[in-house]
Amino acid sequence: MLNYIIPFIIVILVVVFIHEYGHYYFAKKYGVGVTDFSIGFGKEIFGWNDKSGTRWKICWIPLGGYVKFFGDRNVYSQTDHNDILQKYSEEERKKLFTLKPLYQRSLIVFGGPLANFILALVIFFSIYTFVGKDFTPAVINEVQKDSPAMVGGLKDEDIILEIDGNKVKSILDVSKYIMMSTNEFIDFKVKRSYDEILLKVKPNIVLSEDNLGNKINKRMVGIKLGAYNNEINHVKLGPAQAILHAVNEVYFVSISSLKYIGSMIVGKADTSQLGGPIRIAKISGQVADIGLLAFISMMAYISISLGLVNLFPIPMLDGGHLMFYAFEKFLGRPLSQKTQEGFFRIGMFLLLSLMFFTTFNDLKDIGLLR
């Protein structure tokens, strides 16, 4: 159990700290008072006060965190500015988040997800610079008999160039692009002799195991891959190339995740793959056993997911705050408190539903539910 819990806590501490520090950084930049910087919820385990009066603390429930601003009573656009002006002195008003210009409030809120994307960029950049990136072309060594690949027209010795419009730069890209595809047919672009050929393959959905031994519904096309000319091409990149490929990876993961979520909403994608804290803890432990590099890479992907999910326009999330600010900009005034509270209830319902659904999947994943 400790093999799961300790890596999970490390991942959560890092990605949540970075997220909250993004909010904190912009808050301090624009002179907003910060009273609390908390990693976790519930009762404080330990903490300290810095010279500006911020209480930095670690709490018992490691499922998130928060930054609390001076005078903060409500996270949404404020409609009671007159009351605020009367309650606080002129010096105190300078530290109030709610009285800052709209663009500053928006940047403070956006700072959290932005920090998560930057963390992922730094991790990928470091890996590509100091460890390297694989650029081994993917060659089909074998097309299994009567498989979707054979039906679709793929042949031995085909070099895979693209999958669903994504360039295959490495043999490692093939399984990633097949897994992330949500269409009924997967588009393959292959090089055969001197020709480039476009083929459509309808994958089989097979209950299988991933590389960590977890049960998943896997999209299978029936091919075995090998390295082109049996040569592995693993290259340490220079700074410019490393940052370019890091940006590309963050972009691909973000766009693919959004497409996958969209497909789940319309019933095209497998919703059983959506997991919560229990599954993250399980996978964290499994990946930590593989090695430090795999663990740090997984941390980058979780950081992207945290940043992305927080941008959803759901009240209680950063994207919900930004949605209210967009209304405020468009209307020239904040939405009424009653309207905001209505959105808040909808957001609470959506988040609780998501928590219930992911927990249900997690319990099935560990065998407590059938």
Q: Quick one: average pLDDT of 302-317? A: 88
Q: Given a cut of 80, is residue 284 above it in pLDDT?
A: no
The pLDDT, as a whole number, for residue 102 is: 92
Average per-residue pLDDT in the chain? 83
d(CA 213, CA 166): 27
Q: Quick one: average pLDDT of 322-328? A: 89
Q: Quick one: average pLDDT of 285-294? A: 72
Q: Indicate the range of 135-144, 255-264, 300-309, 332-341 predicted with least confidence.
A: 332-341
Q: Given a cut of 90, is residue 360 above it in pLDDT?
A: no
Known catalytic residue: 231?
A: no
DSSP assignment of 34-80 equals EEEEEEEEEEEEEEEE-TTS-EEEEEEEEEEEEEEETT---SS--S-
Q: Which element (helix H / strand E) includes 122?
A: helix 102-126
d(CA 363, CA 334): 42
* Cβ 50 vs Cβ 69: under 8 Å: no
The model's pLDDT over 92-104, given as tens digits with 9 standing for 90+, comes to 888 888 888 999 9
Instruction: Check the CA dihedral 57-63-69-72 and report its sign.
Output: negative
Structural domains in the chain, CATH included, are 2-130+301-365 (no CATH), 134-235 (2.30.42.10)
Instruction: Check the CA dihedral 7-9-11-13 and report its sign.
Output: negative
The model's pLDDT over 167-216, given as tens digits with 9 standing for 90+, comes to 999 888 898 888 888 888 999 999 998 899 999 999 988 876 665 556 66
pLDDT band at 6, cuts 50/70/90?
Answer: confident
Interior/surface letters 176-193, b for 16+ CB within 10 angstroms, e for the rest:
bbbbbbbeeebbbbbeee
User: What is the reported pTM?
Assistant: 0.84
Q: Which of 20, 142, 209, 341 is catalytic?
A: 20
DSSP structure class, residue 214: -
Report the number of secondary-structure helices (H) and strands (E) in the chain: 11, 12
Q: How far is CA 224 from the centre of its chain?
A: 30
> Which residues, 6+ apart, have CB-to-CB distance to 150 below 8 Å?
143, 144, 222
